[in-house]
Amino acid sequence: MGCTFFGWNAVFDSALFACPKCPRRYKRKTHLNRHLKYECGKQPQFQCPHCQYKAKLKDNLKYHILAKHMKRILHWMNQGADGKFECPQCPRKYIRKISLNRHLRYECGKQPQFACPHCPYRAKLKSNLKYHVLGVHMNAPKKAELGIAIARNNTT
């Protein structure tokens, strides 16, 4: 694998490894090796089970599923006509009691309490905010250390 070491870069304070087949460069040799094995000149090999999307890296497929399909999958798992657990405040039904409890605690009649650190979007569930951030702001700089800020509602 004739990779070229370009020495230390003063801007990034790290070594740069160049791909011998394309102009891509990497700070770590392991990243270059991954690029050569799965990406450079290769067709995408990881197929989404829910749509026609294909990814060159398994992690990219995971992010795609989280961003594009997880809401529908969770909705399908938690709701159904045969749901045993009915919400006393709205017509929602759940297969599992824990899902009903989560609905009552965070969703039913509640204002969204989880705020996106990158835009005005707010979610009732932390997981929905996670999917939003992954799908919309995946490359955006993180404002909060964990990537999720909990907004406090100061209005009365």
In a domain, 135, yes or no: yes
Task: For residues 97 and 84, give the distance between their C-alpha atoms in angstroms, rounded to a whole number.
Answer: 8
> Of 46, 45, 44, 12, which is closest to residue 26 (Cα–Cα)?
12
Q: What is the pLDDT of residue 149?
A: 43
Q: What's the number of domains the chain is made of? A: 2
In a domain, 70, yes or no: no
Task: For residues 120 and 8, give the distance between their C-alpha atoms in angstroms, rounded to a whole number.
Answer: 40
pTM of the entire structure?
A: 0.39
In a domain, 21, yes or no: yes
Q: Which domain holds residue 144?
A: 111-156
Scanning the structure block, which residue is given the tokens 């599923």? 65
In a domain, 27, yes or no: yes
Reading the chain (156 residues) residue by residue, the pLDDT tens digits are 455 555 554 444 455 889 999 988 888 899 899 888 888 888 888 888 888 999 988 888 888 888 888 777 666 655 554 667 888 888 888 888 888 888 888 888 888 888 998 899 998 888 888 888 887 887 654 544 334 444 433 344
Q: What is the pLDDT of residue 2?
A: 56
Count Cβ atoms below 10 Å from residue 128 Cβ, excluding itself. Answer: 19
Q: What is the pLDDT of residue 138?
A: 75
In a domain, 14, yes or no: yes
